[in-house]
Amino acid sequence: MSIYWFYVIGNLSTCACSLFWLSLVPLGVLSFNVLFADYYGEKEKEERHKKWCKGTAIFSSMMLIASIFATSSENLMKIYVVDNTVEYIDNNDKARELPDKVIECCNKLLDDYLNED
């Protein structure tokens, strides 16, 4: 079940990054409208545009932070596997005697599993 959540979090990272880039378009348009409201004689719309500009800037910042801190599913799988492997090796005396070939085989299996997508 935890592997499912790895993919969900990875997709959230991609979604947040996409929303960040998409939110830059309205932010640019609103900023342009605020800067040139005097020139076009639309002073009454300036306050409304400022309000929307601030909200869009906050949304863009949140999406940027979410896309930075939410890792990809591949990285989550690596963290999960390494953590469980280290814990298992620490608790099991026979596992400490495993040859390097077995560990390389596990790494290759994990890479093949992650590259199926």
Domain map of the chain by residue range?
2-69, 73-114
Residue 53's pLDDT band, with cuts at 50, 70 and 90, is: confident
pLDDT at position 71 is: 76
Residues 6+ apart with CB under 8 A from 42: 33
Nearest by Cα to 110 from 66, 75, 60 = 75
On whether the pTM is more than 0.75, the answer is no
Contact 43, 37 (CB under 8 A): yes
**pLDDT tens-place string over residues 13-48:** 888 888 888 888 888 888 887 777 766 666 677 777
> 1 pLDDT exceeds 60?
no
**pLDDT tens-place string over residues 56-96:** 889 989 888 888 887 777 777 777 777 777 777 777 777 66
pLDDT at position 40 is: 65
Which pair of structure tokens corresponds to residue 55? Answer: 């909200």
pLDDT at position 113 is: 73
